[in-house]
Amino acid sequence: MNYPINEHPHSINGVSGRMHNIHEPQLVRGNLVHRNQTWTSEGRPVKGYGTDGTMHVEIRFDDECQNGHQSFAITANVYTAESRRQRDIAAGGCMHDEIAKVFPELAPLTIWHLTSTDGPMHYVANTLYHAGDRDCNGRRAGEPSAYDTMIYFGNSPVAHKLSKSFAKFIQDRAGTGSFHVVAVAHTDNGKPGAYQFTPKYTFAGYGEKWHECPFDSEAVAQQWAQALNTIEYRIERIPTAYSKGKARDLNAARESACWPDASDEELSVDRAQLKAALEARLPALIAAFRADMVRIGFLWEPSK
């Protein structure tokens, strides 16, 4: 292959257009890639955007983002008389529904939008999320999503809230009788012109800095020390909020997986089964993607 490949007329799926200059592949993150490989279609009339609306489709299969692999994208730009005067576009972007109406020959390629040489973008993660009924943190509806850490002394029903770090400190010393109060002065104490904050109080071994101390009063700190050293207690995590989960979006899952004929049943199995199915079909999916890229005249990533 001789580079650069100069701009030249090129048709994709019977649509006339031009392939832009393609320069010699570059090494990006250890992989040889084409940094620029873009095709722009002829213009066709489009309604609804302004006077003399014309749509052009742009297809690229390159590593413009320098990720170390080539990615496919199909987008469109719409120009009108008004936008041309302003040297701008009237609309643009991932207009796949509009592309299908104006350029039906190119519609079959939209399935590969954001697919790279190693598969669709976030292939497994996005598909599992959309196909599942869990929220972005992996929780189903009704499952706890936030907690408070509380301590109960003896048989008292009254709970006292603890920070996570303070609760761990107490748990690590449970039953040792080793809670001893220490005072911590503010760092500005004694500095001319500085506000003189009163000391705070903590237990030896926890909160060496003034702002980390859990107690404002020595008396309260001593009461806690006596309780922890002499009374049985328990620490519990109490749910304070619950997830709403999410509805399954199987159409979005099909799109993420480039799997338009997947049945609802195939996408609704448990996560482990779906992940295994996705991984099993990935090699054939990449092979089909590569065949399509070569068929429409794009260069695949060269071997080193």
pLDDT tens digit at each of 304 positions of the chain:
899 999 999 999 999 999 999 999 999 999 999 999 999 999 999 999 999 999 999 999 999 999 999 999 999 999 999 999 999 999 999 999 999 999 999 999 999 999 999 999 999 999 999 999 999 999 999 999 999 999 999 999 999 999 999 999 999 998 888 899 999 999 887 788 888 899 999 999 998 899 999 999 999 999 999 999 999 999 999 999 999 999 999 999 999 999 999 999 999 999 999 999 999 999 999 999 999 999 999 999 998 7
Residue 125 domain-assigned? yes
Q: How many residues does the chain have?
A: 304
208/275 same-domain check: no
Same domain, yes or no, for 43 and 109? yes
Torsion of CA 198, 202, 206, 212, to 10 degrees: -40
Q: In terms of domains, do 217 and 191 share one? A: yes
φ, ψ of residue 60 in degrees (nearest 5): -130, 145
Compute the distance between CA of residue 83 and CA of residue 47 in angstroms, rounded to an integer. 14
Q: Does 14 reside within a domain?
A: yes
N-term to C-term CA, the chain: 14
Helix (H, G, I), strand (E, B) or coil at 283: helix
41 in the same domain as 76 = yes
Do strands 26-28 and 31-33 pair parallel, antiparallel, or not at all (unpaired)? antiparallel
Q: What is the pTM of this model?
A: 0.79
Q: Is residue 186 domain-shared with residue 214, that is, in the same domain?
A: yes
The residue from 242, 262, 284 where one domain ends is 242
Which residues lie below 8 Å from residue 152, measured CB to CB, with a gap of 6+? 158, 159, 160, 233, 234, 235, 236
SS3 category, 258:
coil
Domain boundary among 242, 263, 281: 242
d(CA 137, CA 53): 44
Q: Do residues 148 and 265 both lie within one domain?
A: no
Of 219, 242, 265, which closes a domain? 242
Count of other CB atoms within 10 angstroms of residue 226:
12
Regarding whether 194 and 112 lie in a shared domain, the answer is no
Residues 23 and 81 in one domain: yes
Domain ranges, residue 12:
8-136+248-295
160 lies in some domain: yes
